[in-house]
Structures are given as structure tokens and as C-alpha cells.
Structure 1
Amino acid sequence: MKVKLEDVCERGSSNLKQSDIIDKSGEYPIYGAAGYLGNIDFYHQDKPYIAVVKDGAGIGRTTLHPAKSSVIGTMQYLLPKENVLPEYLYYVVKYMHLEKYFTGATIPHIYFKDYKNEEFNLDTLDRQIEIVGILKKVEDIIEFRRQELDKLDNLIKARFVEMFGDTVSNPKGWERMTFRKASCRLSDGPFGSNLKSEHYSDTGIRVIRLGNIGVGKFIDNDQSYIPEAHYERLKKYTCKSGEIVIGTLGEPNLRACIVPDYVGIAVNKADCVHYIPNPELLNSLFVCQYINCPETQQLASGMIHGQTRSRVSSGQIAEMPIFIPPIELQNMFADFVKQVNKSKFYWLSKKYLISNRT
């Protein structure tokens, strides 16, 4: 039978911030938008539940969590009622693509009141069990593909450390510069009234948002555009394929990726830093991996500021150090990354085919 989302779950909220759990320990897991954060000595929910990212990067992402666990405040609890299995509700909400309900120009939000009337077919509990079993088998295959991709990512990380060393301790003694000094461009996106949600259109010039910037990968789920007429007012924020964009808000607070070829010309939004390295000093693929190294992210974690929305500013990034190995060595690393990315494309295509059959 047809039901609304609010018929099968209740919403709950969390007031926990990531900074609240630093140095905490315990037996109960806590999760954020990017996944598991650690263990603490208390929990918010005593039964399994669904969580939806409601603020910032990854908005609309849906996850299933175990009993006796918690999430931080950027996520919305959806607590299943007796007529629905938590696993069934998870699959239902996941395929609703709640990101379409976002509001807010600088920091996107979604609210339960806006998506609570989403309708779907509620099967009997026996049928729910059957459907969940089928979908779990499909997800197991997808998870295997993901693990293969993770192995390739780890191969890139290991190669970086082998060639260049730790980004903070700099054991090979490379020359250091600030990100600004080693750049041709370092610029945050437009704030305030220059780019608001009412400026968006169905087609036009692509807007690169926080949700598009993953750790070493461009996430294409969240597609936003502005008309060419409005782009003329924002031309100084132009980003192009092959250039670097850096996310400074969300999880992790510092992450970078390359704008893919199919995006073409775009503009970066607030809290999305556009970075073009000096090509005589730095290779873009090298810079991207440098930023995404755990040691660099740990360094950036000490710069995080903001009470409600923790971020790293473009000014702080500008003054961060980056070491400068010989450009020939960086280019060798970039060639290695390109070869690995060909293998990643193979596994991604298999994952895509499976996902689109479900």
C-alpha cells in the first residue's frame, strides 16, 4: 500500500559536534557524514535507525546504523516505526535522493518537513524481509567492487609516500613554499548575494559545490547550474577542467579533487577553493594527493574554526606549507596515477552497471 515517509518513521536530532568527541573513548560508535568517527561512552539511540546528512557536503546521503550508537549534528535521525524494518526503510530513503530538497546558497540544508510526504509502497513485513535479502546480495557485489577501488587508492597513497615521504615531517628534505607562493591562482567562491539558490537554472554553466568535492574524486550527484547571463557577472570565479578544487567545509574539512573533462567551464561556490599551481613548480595530480594525505589533513584539523559550521579558510590554506620535489619526479607520479585511474575506471564501470540494474 502507498504510504508517506512520515507514516513509517519519526525524526530525531543530534546536538553533538565533531569537536565534542575529540579524545573521547568507550564502547558505543558515533558516525558523521563521511562515516564512522570513533567510539564514545554514551549513545543516543537504543534501536537501529537511519541517518540522513542534512547540512553541508554530502547532503541527502543516507546510512543505516546499529542500536546503541549516535550521529553528530549534521545528520538527521529517522527512527523506524513498528510497521517497517530498519533495513527496508534504509533502501527506501536511499533511493528517494533527498538532496533534491536542498535549500540555502552558502551551506545547503534539507529539512524533514520538506520530504516527509514522499510516498512509496509499503510491503508486508514478510515481503520486506525478502526484498532486503535481495538488495543485500546486490550490495555485497557492489561492496566487493568498492574494495577493489580502495585497493587502487591505497596503491596511489603508498606510491606517494615511497616517492616523496610524509607531507609534514618531509624526511627527504624537499624545499617548502606556501600554497599561495607556489600558485598561479588561489581563490574562494562568491559569498552572499552574488550566488544564491534563486540564481540556479536547469542548464547553463556548472556550479561546483561542496558536495561535488570528494577525497581525490569529483562527485557528480549534485548538479547545479546558472544561466550564462549570470555567469557573466561571476567570470572571475571561472574554473576549468583539469584544475583543482578544494573543499574547506564538511567531512573531511580539507579535501581536493580535479575538475573532470566533462564539466568544462564552471564556477566555484563559497567554501570551494579554486587552486591552480605554478606548472613550473607543481603538478596538479601531485598537489591533489598532497592535500588528501592524512598528515596534511591532520595539520589542517588544527586550523578548523567556526562554532556551528567548522571550516578551514582560503587564507589559512594559502599559508599552509607544501614541499616542492623536482617536477620530473612529480610528473612520474602523475603518470602512475593516470595508469591506476584506468584500472579504477574499469571497476567503476562494473559497479555502475550493477547499481543501475537494481
Structure 2
Amino acid sequence: MSEIFEMYQPHTLAQSELKNDGPYLVYGANGVIGKHTSYNHEEAQVLVTCRGATCGAINVSAPFSWINGNAMVIKPRENNVDLAFLKYYLESGIDIKKVITGAAQPQITRQSLSLLKVDLPPLAEQQRIAAILDKAELIKRNRELAIEKLDELAQSVFIEMFGDSVTNNKGWELKSLGEIADFYAGNSLPKESAYKNQSDGYFLMKVSDMNSLGNEREIKSCKSWSDLIGAKSATCPKGSIVIPKRGGAIGTNKKRITTRLTVLDPNLMAIKPKEDIVLTEYLYQWFLNFDLLSITNGSSVPQLNKKDLDPLRIQIPAIKAQEKFRNFIELHLAHKAKNINLMKGETMLIDSIKHQAFSGQL
């Protein structure tokens, strides 16, 4: 690579040098991290993340931007490389991850990158391939935007039906969360086994399970399972809303719904609505609009407990109105699932096109 590309890590700005109102974007390891009053690159550049968990990721900077040193600039030495093609080539045409070193702190160095062998087609062929891949990626991005719009629609319908949850402008009856829900606090987990689609027993849920693919709304799987019952106070039923209760995870504001009996570890807690007063789908949507950090206690390590959540004031619409919203959510989720499945198919198609492109078959 060193024969075709100049590779370097630019000067890194201190955090204090970033400006919210600066005219120029600043790029770090994972894309834009802020703004600055000046730039160090006039032209767009292809960047490789060279440190941390996302080491090997590829980004493209905007023209007139500042690039920090935790991204490696891959700059063609001559005008015979198309930047769009180069991005796709680094992502799919070569195995850039094989030059990552370091277990505790993964990194890519200029020396390791320079050993990679590249075989670039003529510029016109690069541009042809990049144009095809651009169109394919646009299809995928449009699908992603459609899914995002569906999530926005759910929030819009909630506000239209029930009004603003802060001002209660529709004058619904107010009750404390403690009046309408039961609380479950995480505890030590029973002896665990790997979850292998067992239909009985208990999910053993940890914070990391909130991040697993497929668990974006409902907990459909956990890494661990047990046929042993956990502490009663930590074992929540189906339809409970799980939130982080300790540490930085609270700031992620993630909320999930259980789909079966689930034992929570000490870093989680759950709220189970009393279904004769409030439905899970309604309370879950209410919580999506609520900032958990706003009620934390503890200075160095944020924490949440029942006493923090109990006094929250919740609007209580008529059950029939909540049922109408639940019916909408069921249709909404079915439509969203259809779009997600379509996107999976499109992603497989794009991967196939990339394979053909970089094996001379396109």
C-alpha cells in the first residue's frame, strides 16, 4: 500500500479545542466528533480507524475538515484512485483487520498497513464499480431511513393521542408510578447455562443483553439461561420494562420489554405496569421520552432505585385509548419487521455485489 498511498495520522486536537459553533467538522476514530475554527485538510479523505474497539472501520471526511490522529489518512499519491472506490475497496476488497495488533488496545499502524498488497483496476473501472455500489448503498440507506421514520411515527401518534407528557395538556388523571406498577430490583443470578432456545426456565439478563441484535425493543434472547428460580424480587414477568440502574449504562437511556420470566442481575431493574390501569405498550412509549439521568442519585457513580422512580407522575388515559394505541403499535411493529427483513435481503445482495466487484466478476 505504501507504494500507492501516503498514510499518516494528523495532529490531534485536545477536547478543549473543540467548538460547538465552529465552521469546520472534526473527525475522530468513528466519524464526526465536533467542530473547530480551522481545518487541516481541504479535500475529502478516506480514513481508517486505527485505535480502539472499532479499529479497521472506514470513514470518508468532508472537504475542509480537521482530521484527528486516531484516524489514519489513506491518501493516493497520484490522481489515479477514485475515493468512493477506495472506501469500498478497503471495506470489502481486502482484509484490513488482519493487520490489527494488540489485544487489550487494538491498533493499526502505518507499518502494518504498508504490508498489505493492493490490486487496483484502472480509474475508469474504479468509477464504474463505485457508481454501482453507490446505487446499491443508497437503496439500503433509504430502507434505514424508512425504519427511522416508522419510529418517529410511533412517537407522533403517541403525542397526538395522549398529548405532551410533561405539561399534560390533555388533562389526563395523574398517578405516581408506584401506584400503577410493581418494581423489581436486580440481584445475584442463579447458576447459569448458555441459552440455546430453551422454551422453559428463565432468562438471566445482564446489561449487555440490551445491546444484542434483535433485542432493540423486546428481550427475545439472553446469553444466559437457567432452570433454577432466582430471587423473587429480581424475577420479573413478561411485559416488564427493564432499565439500567447503575453506572454509565443509565446514560444510554435504553429501555427493553421482557417476553418471558426474566431474572435481573444487580445492574438492572424493572417496572411491571398493573394492566388494569396502564398497558405495557403505553408505559414503554412514555419511558422512551423520559431521561433516566434526570432522576439519578450518587455523584461519582449514577444510580437508580425504587425511591427515585416511585414518585414519577404518569398520565393515565382511559384503557380503551391505551388499547387503541397498542393495536397501532402491533401494526407498526409488523410493518417495521417487514422493512428490517427487506433490509437484510438488500444487505446480502450488496455483499454479493461487492464480492463480484472485487473478484473481477462485475
Same fold (TM over 0.5): yes
| Superposed displacement of residue 328, structure 1 | 2.2
Under a length normalisation based on structure 1, what TM-score does the superposition of the two structures give? 0.63
Under a length normalisation based on structure 2, what TM-score does the superposition of the two structures give? 0.62
Query: Does the 8 Å contact 2:147/2:339 carry over to 1?
Result: yes
In structure 1, the residue matched to 2:337 is 345
SS of residue paired to 1:279: coil
Q: Is residue 245 from structure 1 mapped to residue 242 from structure 2 by the alignment? A: yes
SS of residue paired to 1:356: helix
Q: Is residue 325 from structure 1 mapped to residue 317 from structure 2 by the alignment? A: yes
- CA-to-aligned-CA distance 1:200-244 (integer Å, 9 cap, x gap): 857575645346359x96279997623637x65677544555432
Please point out which of 22, 26, 30 is paired with 1:26: 22
Query: Does the 8 Å contact 1:175/1:324 carry over to 2?
Result: yes
Please point out which of 153, 157, 160 is paired with 1:159: 157
In structure 2, the residue matched to 1:218 is 216
Query: Equivalences for 1:1-358 in 2 at 5 Å?
Result: 16=15, 24-29=20-25, 40-42=35-37, 46=41, 47-49=45-47, 64=59, 66-67=61-62, 68=65, 77-82=70-75, 87-88=87-88, 91-92=91-92, 111-113=105-107, 122-124=118-120, 132-188=130-186, 201=194, 203=196, 205=203, 207-210=205-208, 212=210, 218=216, 225-226=223-224, 228=226, 237-239=234-236, 241-247=238-244, 249=248, 253-259=252-258, 261=259, 264-269=260-265, 271-293=267-289, 296-297=290-291, 300=292, 302-303=294-295, 313-315=304-306, 316-357=308-349, 358=351
Query: Does the 8 Å contact 1:213/1:247 carry over to 2?
Result: no
Query: Does the 8 Å contact 2:30/2:49 carry over to 1?
Result: no
* Structure with more relative contact order (C-alpha pairs < 8 Å, separation 6 or more): 1
Q: CA RMSD in A?
A: 5.5
Taking the aligned partners of 1:174 and 1:131, their CA distance within structure 2 comes to 58
| Superposed displacement of residue 331, structure 1 | 1.5
| Superposed displacement of residue 168, structure 1 | 0.9
Query: Does the 8 Å contact 1:189/1:273 carry over to 2?
Result: no
| Superposed displacement of residue 166, structure 1 | 0.9
| Superposed displacement of residue 344, structure 1 | 1.4
- CA-to-aligned-CA distance 1:71-105 (integer Å, 9 cap, x gap): 9xxxx944244479672377359x999xxxxx9xx
Where structure 1 has 5 or more consecutive residues not aligned to the other structure, the ranges are: 98-102, 104-109
Taking the aligned partners of 1:164 and 1:306, their CA distance within structure 2 comes to 33
SS of residue paired to 1:287: helix
Q: How many residues align?
A: 317
Moved more, 318-327 or 233-242: 233-242
Moved more, 330-339 or 8-17: 8-17
SS of residue paired to 1:343: helix
Query: Does the 8 Å contact 1:28/1:41 carry over to 2?
Result: yes
Q: Percent identity?
A: 18
| Superposed displacement of residue 333, structure 1 | 0.7
Taking the aligned partners of 1:323 and 1:121, their CA distance within structure 2 comes to 62
Query: Does the 8 Å contact 2:174/2:316 carry over to 1?
Result: yes
| Superposed displacement of residue 285, structure 1 | 0.9
Taking the aligned partners of 2:116 and 2:194, their CA distance within structure 1 comes to 28
Choose 1 or 2 for highest CA Rg. 2
SS of residue paired to 2:252: coil
| Superposed displacement of residue 165, structure 1 | 0.7
Taking the aligned partners of 1:349 and 1:189, their CA distance within structure 2 comes to 36
In structure 1, the residue matched to 2:356 is none
Instruction: Return the letter of the residue paired with 2:22.
Output: G
| Superposed displacement of residue 353, structure 1 | 1.1
SS of residue paired to 2:275: coil
Taking the aligned partners of 1:44 and 1:327, their CA distance within structure 2 comes to 57
Instruction: Return the letter of the residue paired with 1:257.
Output: R
| Superposed displacement of residue 276, structure 1 | 1.3
Query: Does the 8 Å contact 1:12/1:77 carry over to 2?
Result: no
SS of residue paired to 2:326: helix
